[in-house]
Structure 1
Amino acid sequence: MHLRDLPHTDPGVPDVRTGGTFLRWLCRQQLGGQLKALFWGLVNLGAIASFPLPVGLAVQAVVDRGGGRLGVAAGLIVVLGALIALGSTMLHRAAVTNWIGTVARMQQLLARKTTELGPAMTRRMAAGEIAAVSTGDLEKIGWFVEALSRFGASVVTVVGVSVALVFYQPQLGVLVVLGVPVLALAVLPLLPPATRRADMQRDKAGRATELASDTVAGLRVLRGIGGEELFLRRYRSASQEVREAAVRSARMWSLISAVQVALPGLLLIAVVWYGTRLALDGSVTVGQLVTVYSAVAFLLFPLQNFEEFAQAYSFARPSAKRTARVLAQSRPAGGRTTGHEAPPTGDLHDPVSGLTAPAGRLTAVVCGDPDAAGRLAERLGG
């Protein structure tokens, strides 16, 4: 897919049973773009991962005073540098195309659903929730789809580098192979609480958005009854709850980032310490030690993509759930009446709240909770 092909001729029929099925459907729609991004990601990361080899050859050539091998190493560095530049450029292009294509598809789906339901959509869902989906959730889902291919390339590269180190220098390679899974899995116990805190933050932000939207929509009525201060206090309280939830979520993600930096640093220290002892014993050459050290230092980069993917998924999962809930709305069958049918008459009664609106009289209802007002209107209006 190219950007010039947007908007999509047909955005398709989404699978909106759950947020997870909706995410999988979106990824399938971008399968070609995902494979392209995966390929260029492998080219980019593979070239970067191969860089320690010519660097180690160059160091060993200097130690051995081998001019020919130094020239070969320099040539390899130039070739790998060109591959890194090409792979990085094309990866960024493919990833951004996936992001834009996914967001454009969801925007078309939302526009189609809005056209289909019309005013019935805001009777079924709060206007603030619809606004939150169209403004913030689509971006987070696009981030997940865009990060998926880079995560796949990182997994393949990490496994490949670890296996290659075992064959290149078994003594140090085994240490790396034992340490890398620990680095990759160390943050897993922290992800569930981080996800819960992120979900809580987004829920509170969504409620604050709904409150602000409903307040603006009914501003003239609020001024007429003097309710501005009440809703202002409610929004201030909701805003503070969002801030507190965001701080709690940021603390957990900062802890995950700290773990992702500290543990690889410990692995580097272990490799240098053990490699130095082997070099002093003559078991490894200086060039081999430099190569292994550079390879371990490189692994920090793809491991950061692991964290980004986990964060993108934690943000995209509730966003996909909300988006799927909006797209799952449908117009009730037989909801329209013909001109030959008599209009409904009689009092309106809500058994839940006990409200009765007599026929032929104007009844005004004031609710402190906009969500409760929306549910009441939905029950009364059918």
Structure 2
Amino acid sequence: MTDPDNLTIDVNGTTTAYGSDAANAGDNGLGHPTVLSIHGVKRLYLLNRASGHIDNDQLVLHKLHHDGDEPLLGLPQLGYVSPLASGGYPALEPTATATSGLIAPDAILGAIRMGRDKTAAVYVSKVLNADKSFPASQICPKTPAFALTNLVNGKPRKTNDDVISIRVATTSDGVNFTDAGVATGLNDPTTVSLNGIRWLGSGSLLRIADGRYGLFFGAGSCLDNDSDGFHFIGYAETINPVRQPSDLLSWHVVRGFDNPIISTDTVVDPAGPRAYPLNAPLVSVAGADLLSAEEVAPFPRPNTIGGTTYTTNFFSGRVYDPQAVYTNERTVTIVFAGYNTPQPSNNLGDYRSIGRFQLHVPAGYFAPPEFDRDE
């Protein structure tokens, strides 16, 4: 547990500073959970975020209980033998297993059954510090003076050298995977354009009625310098109906940086002037679940900076991980995560919040779930 001000974490009477020591799970832990059902077996897939393991190890696996009402029954209380280095962190607890064959896996975006014996998974592959060999023109500089992270924190964010690709892999058992290639049309790991998609993060798939698939995703650019991809939530579709794994390799973006579904606060480059995003998001609101000064005390809540009001929504600084749910033939519900500020580690009074919104689409555009399929 943590103290009321989120300054320390206490485990069985042992107290350590929270969010300041990469040797403890309070700063890392397991993340990006995804559940897949393959041949009637449901498994929980997790990213091991511990230092030295994140985006290097295979995904952590736990088999879920067959009881549909209590699928988490029997899972270990902790993902590690202890959340503290003094207790054995980052050793995983003994029932954890792992996938094989995935390439630098960071998060599973979704999976589609291909016939009786094969399932294709779409996932985020992240190679840490991999762009250092790129030409200088393909590496992000530090964030510009008008970036939100500069305005809120008073300093730029340094270059991020991680390289993201979206990959497809197939499996027949949910454990062992075979690579099927890198998807195109979603992101460009070499772009330094502030309105480009350099990093694409967690998201989810929905089946379109004509057989194609739609992808809701979080993404970002050199305006953030963070490979987690949290500047906006966008949407893309496969070029062709999906009948085989290779059909998941070609995409086009429908809602990108400059016409997002939902976005962090708009910032303006005074040299243009040029707004980022260029157009208002599809979901454009202000004052959504704004944290009060009392709620974040003793930490400050940045708001008006240089005469412009920022951080008015719980997702003003970060918006990401859209989970799309088919609701009815005209409605898709999106559950997503957000932070009030772009770098919550600099303000521990700013905690992750979960929100939702609904999108109205033409009747029958998305296909209803097929509950007899293992996807």
Please indicate the TM-score interval, normalised by the length of the shorter structure: under 0.3
Larger radius of gyration: 1
TM superposition score normalised by structure 2:
0.22
Greater percentage in strand: 2
Greater percentage in helix: 1
Question: Relative contact order: is structure 1 or structure 2 higher (C-alpha 8 Å, sep ≥ 6)?
Answer: 1
TM superposition score normalised by structure 1:
0.22
